[in-house]
Amino acid sequence: MSELSITDLLFAYGAWVSDDNNELGCKSPSLMLIKSAPKLCKNSVKPSKRRVVKFISDDDALAVDRAMNKLMRHSVHLHNIITYHFIYNWSVKQIADDYWSQFEYPCGSKKATNYHVNPLLNHAIGFVSCELMNDNA
């Protein structure tokens, strides 16, 4: 396993997941156009600027992927929070506003804040970190 911190490792994993330059080529021109098309619809929120990440090997990324799959079996909400933050580069406030508010306050009268989402994000990071340590042992 690499010597990166868990957050650097998860941000590198997010870049590895969303990287589409696999150099495998496309079987048809229409598939090439579909892959190069923008992935945002007009009603979606513009993602934040992509951060510079460290290098992650394929073996390390697959180990993180196994840990993320175990997290999804444990809790779908924690998996979604960590996915929005590290893969889609949403801020904690954006996760609280656009994702967690509908579960915390289903009537729509109030909004969740980053104080609701930060402990959940830290719990998900700890779960993935623990699974990575167990995977290496």
The pLDDT value given to residue 42 = 46
Does residue 39 lie in a domain region? yes
Does residue 72 lie in a domain region? yes
| Contact in structure between 90 and 84 (CB atoms under 8 Å) | yes
Does residue 17 lie in a domain region? yes
Average pLDDT over residues 107-128: 90
Does residue 15 lie in a domain region? yes
Does residue 35 lie in a domain region? yes
Lowest mean pLDDT among 2-6, 37-41, 63-67, 68-72: 37-41
The pLDDT value given to residue 127 = 96
- For residue 128, name the pLDDT band (cuts at 50, 70, 90): very high
Whose structure tokens read 């941000």? 11
The pLDDT value given to residue 105 = 80
Ranges of beta strands (E only) in 60-124 are: none
**pLDDT for residue 114 is more than 50:** yes
The pLDDT value given to residue 130 = 95
pLDDT digits (tens, 9 = 90+) for 27-57: 555 555 555 655 555 445 454 455 677 888 8
Does residue 74 lie in a domain region? yes
The whole-model pTM stands at 0.76
Phi-psi sector, 26: left (phi>0), alpha (psi -120 to 50), beta: beta
Range of the domain at 131: 6-136
Does residue 131 lie in a domain region? yes
| Contact in structure between 29 and 69 (CB atoms under 8 Å) | no
Distance CA 16, CA 12 (A): 6
Count of domains for the chain: 1
pLDDT digits (tens, 9 = 90+) for 8-24: 999 998 888 876 555 55
Does residue 1 lie in a domain region? no
Greater pLDDT, 127 or 21: 127
